[in-house]
């Protein structure tokens, strides 16, 4: 049996089913109980499971993350919600100095089965610090897994895998496409493995790598460029930023000989740069053209009047594909 769900509904269903499945699972965060969360991901769960398992917290992100670490150390499986990714900055010390290091620090004696969920990215006309796409901060932190779904099916399956993972997982939810489309999602409990990319569309001329809210942009560009120029694209959804599915990336580049990376993050020292480095390390001799990055810009994400000029568009991706194909 399946249901037509959008991403936010799929996340709610995953949380509901894991709360029912394992009494060690609990949720905590600002306004997640009575109000059901800033985007309503936890709507109705307080009434179903009670305040001991769906806990409203003070407006204090460092305290939320610190409490999550303490709960995980003492046998619980906490899932924290941070309202927007940039709001996690006050809790970075807890994430980087403690959550990510506990397994290594204790020589494997202690693990931290915990998830931090947070919306991320631009495209919703948010004010300052509501549109950040700084996933590279966290991908560079050993001990932390970073997951980014782009579809309702993957959102549910990846969140269940994250909750069942023995180590801390940062679960980044692309705000722009929370409610942009629905697809069939199984009603049953299922998992999508962390660390495995997905080939969304197969082609032979060029590889396009994207994640999160950039996936619809990448797919749209690939379809239009095939109709207009006849070039076919491998389109790959990374789904997990760390650990990367290196085999999938390299296999695709060896097949096509060309690659474009699409990201809304700032260009410098980004995941896009990491992918270029990986391809150069392991598939340089297969390349017919330099790897192209289509990115946000190296400025703070602008407010709503200029947001569309900051975000990669289908037209920008098509131009990048053409530049690479005609090199």
**Could you give the residue numbers annotated as active site?**
130
Helices marked H in the chain: 7-21, 45-49, 61-73, 92-94, 102-105, 135-139, 152-164, 214-229, 246-256, 271-283, 307-310, 314-325
Q: How many CB atoms lie within 10 A of CB 149?
A: 28
Q: For residue 60, what are its two tokens?
A: 């204090």
Residue owning tokens 């200029």: 306
CA dihedral 128, 131, 133, 135 (to 10 degrees): 90
Beta bridge partners of 79: 27, 115
| Burial class, 319, CB count within 10 angstroms (exposed 0-12 / middle 13-18 / buried 19+) | middle
Q: How many CB atoms lie within 10 A of CB 32?
A: 27
Buried b / exposed e over 169-199, threshold 16 CB at 10 Å, is: bbbbbbbbbbeeeeeebeeeeeebebbebbe
Buried b / exposed e over 237-261, threshold 16 CB at 10 Å, is: bbbbbbebbeebbbebbeebbbbbb
Nearest to residue 7, comparing CAs of 206, 215, 308, 262? Answer: 215
């Amino acid at each position: 049996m399946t249901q037509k769900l959008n991403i936010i509904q799929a996340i709610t269903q995953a949380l509901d089913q894991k709360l029912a499945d394992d009494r060690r699972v609990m949720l905590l965060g600002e306004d997640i109980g009575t109000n059901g969360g800033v985007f309503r991901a936890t709507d109705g769960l307080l009434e179903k499971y009670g305040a001991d398992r769906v806990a409203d917290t003070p407006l204090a992100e460092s305290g939320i993350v610190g409490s999550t670490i303490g709960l995980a150390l003492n046998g619980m499986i906490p899932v924290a919600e941070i309202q927007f990714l940039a709001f996690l900055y006050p809790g970075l010390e807890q994430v980087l100095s403690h959550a990510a290091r506990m397994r290594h620090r204790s020589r494997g004696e202690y693990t931290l089965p915990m998830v931090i969920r947070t919306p991320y990215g631009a495209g919703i006309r948010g004010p300052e610090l509501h549109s950040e796409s700084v996933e590279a901060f966290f991908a560079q932190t050993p001990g932390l897994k970073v997951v980014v779904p782009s579809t309702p099916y993957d959102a549910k399956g990846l969140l269940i895998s994250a909750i069942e993972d023995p180590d801390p997982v940062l679960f980044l939810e692309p705000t722009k496409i929370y409610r942009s489309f629905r697809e069939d999602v199984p009603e049953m409990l299922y998992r999508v493995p962390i660390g495995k990319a997905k080939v969304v569309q197969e082609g032979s001329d060029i590889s396009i790598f994207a994640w999160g809210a950039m996936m619809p942009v990448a797919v749209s560009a690939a379809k239009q460029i095939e109709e207009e120029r006849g070039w076919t694209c491998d389109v790959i959804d990374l789904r997990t930023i760390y650990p990367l599915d290196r085999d999938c990336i390299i296999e695709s580049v060896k097949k096509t000989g060309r690659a474009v990376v699409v990201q809304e993050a700032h260009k410098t020292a980004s995941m896009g740069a990491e992918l270029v480095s990986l391809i150069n390390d392991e598939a340089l001799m297969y390349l017919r053209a330099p790897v192209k990055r289509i990115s946000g810009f190296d400025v703070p994400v602008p407010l709503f009047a200029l947001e569309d000029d900051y975000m990669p568009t289908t037209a920008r991706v098509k131009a990048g594909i053409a530049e690479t194909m005609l090199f």
